[in-house]
């Protein structure tokens, strides 16, 4: 005999079924997480174009470290800093690095706060991680270079693959006319056989380095368009970028024009103006206007799509006005690399 279905029994049975599905799904997610933690890294499942920086082969898309260090540049949305910290736990950071490698992103960059650096070390030791590090020391750049040298030696011991002068330091040093210290900061990593670069928010840094013949192997320079709602108006840009929250490249047209004459790899960062510009638009703009590599902060769930978008942007702009540094693989031109001297 058919059992009569009442409203109460329907609701009760539906809740039980839903709970069962939820428990099963939760168990599945826990199992997947446990498997992810225990399983060695798989081979890359996606190929990104690469270019040489010194002796390194670097993916044209580089994982930015701000989201991993929880410094999100989220303007006055203060809660986002806490949200990023709650989401990007140590375990999630290591998962993110593994996802990046899986999708062909073979290099990451950040500054060197102690705890995030400890997570990078754990990722290599415990998970067999192979993602390359391009790190900027935060120690002060002083005439004796003692503190700066100590941090460089620590990074070398950790297996860091390349080092650059932090843009915050470079902006200040150039503004003060202390090019001798910029030169010392660039020279130190070379003594250990590492590629050595210069970071900058202010284009004046790159101009000064080129004028003074600072032997940087690469530049990391901010670059994004002003085609977004909170971009500054031309009459607002009268001082350092720090005075105007919401942008990090004061004059993108001037930057693109000057970089045409710079014969060194250029890693563009802040390409999305801290989330104000969609990745597809930002990556195409950077590649079209001369950047050789795109540095992007990415959560784990963004990496697959961003890798695809970057590969498309590179292919779309293969014959752009500024030559690629180094040239794209497979375009018939000779790859060039910048060598660093041996330790003395």
Note the pLDDT tens digit of each residue in 228-258.
Answer: 877 766 555 555 544 444 457 888 999 999 9
With tokens 């380095």, the residue in question is 209
pLDDT of res. 264: 97
- pLDDT bin (cut points 50, 70, 90) of residue 105 is very high
Question: Cα(227)–Cα(224) distance, rounded to whole angstroms?
Answer: 9
pLDDT value of position 126: 95
Residue in 328, 332, 296 with CA at minimum distance from that of residue 314: 328
Q: What is the mean pLDDT of residues 295-311?
A: 96
Q: CA–CA distance from 78 to each of 227, 247, 271 (Å)?
A: 24, 17, 21
Higher pLDDT, 25 or 85: 85
Q: Does domain 50-316 have CATH number 3.40.50.460?
A: no
Per-residue pLDDT band for 137 (boundaries 50, 70, 90) equals very high
Q: Which residues of 265-286 are buried (b: 16+ CB within 10 A; e: fewer)?
A: bbbbbbbbbbbbbebebbbbbb
At 168-225, the pLDDT tens digits run: 999 999 999 999 999 999 999 999 999 999 999 999 999 999 999 999 999 999 999 9
pLDDT in tens, 24-63: 444 433 334 443 443 344 444 557 999 999 999 999 999 9
> What does the pLDDT look like over 281-296, one tens digit per residue?
999 999 999 999 999 9
Assessment of whether the complete model's pTM goes beyond 0.75: yes
- Between CA 336 and CA 344 the distance in angstroms is 25
Predicted confidence at residue 73, as pLDDT, reads: 67
Q: What gap in Å lies between CA 326 and CA 324, rounded to an integer?
A: 5
Q: List the chain domain ranges.
A: 50-316
Mean pLDDT rounded to a whole number for the chain: 82
Q: How many CA atoms lie within 13 A of 248 on its CB side?
A: 24
The 10s digit of each residue's pLDDT in 6-20 is: 544 444 454 444 444
């Amino acid at each position: 005999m058919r059992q009569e279905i009442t409203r109460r029994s329907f609701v009760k049975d539906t809740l039980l079924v839903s709970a069962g599905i939820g428990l099963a799904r939760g168990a599945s997610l826990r199992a997947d997480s446990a498997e992810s933690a225990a399983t060695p890294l798989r081979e890359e499942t996606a190929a990104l174009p690469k270019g040489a920086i010194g002796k390194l082969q670097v993916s044209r898309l580089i994982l930015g470290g701000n989201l991993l260090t929880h410094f999100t540049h989220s303007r006055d949305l203060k809660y986002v800093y806490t949200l990023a910290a709650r989401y990007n736990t140590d375990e999630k950071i290591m998962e993110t690095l593994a996802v990046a490698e899986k999708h062909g992103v073979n290099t990451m960059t950040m500054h060197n706060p102690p705890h995030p650096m400890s997570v990078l070390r754990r990722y290599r030791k415990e998970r067999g991680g192979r993602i390359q590090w391009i790190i900027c020391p935060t120690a002060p750049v002083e005439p004796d270079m003692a503190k700066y040298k100590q941090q460089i030696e620590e990074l070398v011991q950790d297996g860091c693959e390349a080092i650059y002068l932090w843009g915050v330091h470079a902006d200040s040093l150039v503004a003060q006319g202390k090019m001798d210290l910029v030169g010392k900061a660039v020279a130190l990593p070379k003594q250990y056989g590492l590629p050595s670069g210069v970071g900058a928010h202010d284009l004046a840094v790159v101009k000064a380095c080129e004028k003074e013949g600072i032997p940087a192997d690469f530049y990391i320079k901010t670059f994004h368009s002003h085609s977004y709602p909170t971009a500054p108006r031309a009459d607002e840009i009268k001082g350092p970028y720090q005075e105007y929250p919401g942008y990090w490249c004061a004059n993108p047209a001037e930057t693109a024009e000057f970089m045409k004459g710079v014969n060194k790899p250029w890693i563009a960062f802040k390409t999305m103006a801290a989330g104000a510009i969609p990745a597809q638009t930002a990556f195409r703009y950077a590649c079209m206007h001369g950047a050789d590599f795109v540095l992007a902060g990415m959560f784990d769930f963004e990496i697959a799509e961003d890798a695809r978008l970057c590969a498309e942007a590179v292919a779309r702009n293969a014959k752009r006005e500024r030559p690629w540094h180094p040239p794209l693989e497979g375009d018939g031109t000779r790859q060039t690399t910048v060598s660093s001297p041996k330790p003395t």
